[in-house]
Amino acid sequence: MRLSRYFLPVLKETPAEAQIVSHRLMLRAGMIKQASAGIYSWLPLGFRVLERIQQIVHEEQERAGHVPLLMPTLQSADLWRESGRYDAYGEEMLRIKDRGGRDLLFSPTAEELITDIFRSYVKSYKDLPLTLYQIQWKFRDEIRPRFGVMRGREFLMKDGYNFDLTKEAALHAYNRHLVSYLRTYERMGLKAIPMRADSGPIGGEDTHEFLVLAETGESEVFYDSAVTDLTFGDRVIDYDSVEECAGVLEEFTSRYARTDETHDPALFDAIPEERRRTARGIEVGQIFYFGTKYSEPLGATVQDAEGNKVPVHMGSHGIGVSRLLGALIEANHDDKGIIWPEGVTPFHCGIVNLKQGDAAADAACENLYDQLRTAGLEPLYDDRDERAGAKFATMDLIGLPWRITVGPRGLKNGVVELTSRRTGESEEMAPEAAVQRIV
């Protein structure tokens, strides 16, 4: 992408309404624009990151054997009356009437609709196990939308639902989700810790939330510092293996790590004092097992091997896709701007031309631009006729992992400058060497 033809409305001033750093930086970097309270337009740079996050989520869900689909944002109230949640959900549900006077709602989550799809088609245990998921916009009329995309009213969520014959099979699906979530967050360069939590209005028995530690987080968390040393890494796992998935759950959840709703001071105090931590966290996902809570009232049954009709065991599993942008920035920034992890960066590398219009500099930049694209990377070439200082400030603000600086003086010696956004270190080298380093 050439910056002269892109749409990157960066702001010089710090917007007064933004209370936390991720919200400030998203506004300043021209990633989002508020449309109304808690509802945002995704400008090109923000949209690119949102898409990269979605791509990782899709890849990891499909790796775990889960099947994507797409359900509507507007749903009939009738299904929610069947489950009893139309009244129970309360004021967070945005209720709408169509011209015929029928009650609709903007989906805050989709247990009812997915269960209706399931019951319409699946009749036999032979079609199980099944996990369906979507990445779709949700609406919750939050009482205090704030912190930008972190607590929006309209927000993008991955929501997945497993259907299994037995409780044991559904718990395997739960564990499979835990594993896939660990991989998903790690690929984004994010440490998200599974913590035992409270199930809230989704209901259910077993549940873990994934929390990113950050001072601006809205949840209070208590944990054994040993949990922060765990990483999933690049180990290979057989998602169909009950033992392997259960082993990962055991490894990642046996130490104390809880949110305030389930916090148990007696258990916490049993941890050696030097490992006891109290902190704040951002909830970036949650997994639930809730058994037959929806399948019974909605009549989602299958025939088992003996010919009996039994309600399926279910769970639901969410990732806060749009909230993740905020969490990623809270965890990756400095006083100059964002520092994107490689896994989610909107562009891989910036090219700064120090003297636009200089024949040698222009040609070297064009060359680099082509080489990077041929190597499968997406560069952002600042080809504007701007001061070097302004170009550097923009690159630092939008936080691409690498910057290649090209100027007539360096080119006389055959070199450009490669700078790492994270370390700030710069090194001079031949243009080809810079490309090699980034690929």
Q: Shortest CA distance to 314 belongs to which of 155, 110, 146?
A: 110
Tokens coding 262: 């389930």
- Based on CB atoms, which residue is closest to ligand ATP, 279 or 438? 279
134 in Cβ contact with 318 (< 8 Å):
no
Binding partner of 152, given ligand ATP, Mg ion, none, CB within 5-8 angstroms per partner class: ligand ATP
The site for Mg ion, by CB under 5 A, has a size of 2
Binding partner of 380, given ligand ATP, Mg ion, none, CB within 5-8 angstroms per partner class: none
Binding partner of 323, given ligand ATP, Mg ion, none, CB within 5-8 angstroms per partner class: ligand ATP
Can you tell me whether residue 154 is helix, strand or coil? strand
Binding characters for ligand ATP, 107-146, by CB under 6 A (x = yes): --x------------------------------x-x----
284 part of the interface to ligand ATP, by CB under 6 A: yes
Sign (positive/negative) of CA torsion 231, 234, 237, 243?
Answer: negative
199 part of the interface to Mg ion, by CB under 5 A: no
Region of 22-30, 314-322, 411-419, 431-439 interacting with ligand ATP (CB under 6 A): 314-322
Q: Which of 42, 106, 155, 381 binds ligand ATP (CB under 6 A)?
A: 155
Q: What residues contact 330, with CB distance under 8 A and at least 6 apart?
A: 20, 21, 22, 212, 214, 216, 217, 282
- In angstroms, the CA 185 to CA 319 distance is 10
- In angstroms, the CA 21 to CA 146 distance is 12
Q: Which of 148, 160, 285, 346 binds ligand ATP (CB under 6 A)?
A: 285
Tokens coding 124: 């036999």
Site for Mg ion in 267-286 (CB under 5 A): 283, 286
Sign (positive/negative) of CA torsion 56, 60, 65, 66?
Answer: negative
Q: Shortest CA distance to 25 belongs to which of 142, 154, 150?
A: 150
Question: Would you give the end-to-end CA distance of the chain in angstroms?
Answer: 17
322 part of the interface to Mg ion, by CB under 5 A: no
Tokens coding 198: 């409270």
Binding characters for ligand ATP, 318-357, by CB under 6 A (x = yes): x-x-xx----------------------------------
Chain positions contacting Mg ion, by CB under 5 A: 283, 286
Chain positions contacting ligand ATP, by CB under 6 A: 109, 140, 142, 151-152, 155, 157, 200, 202, 283-286, 318, 320, 322-323
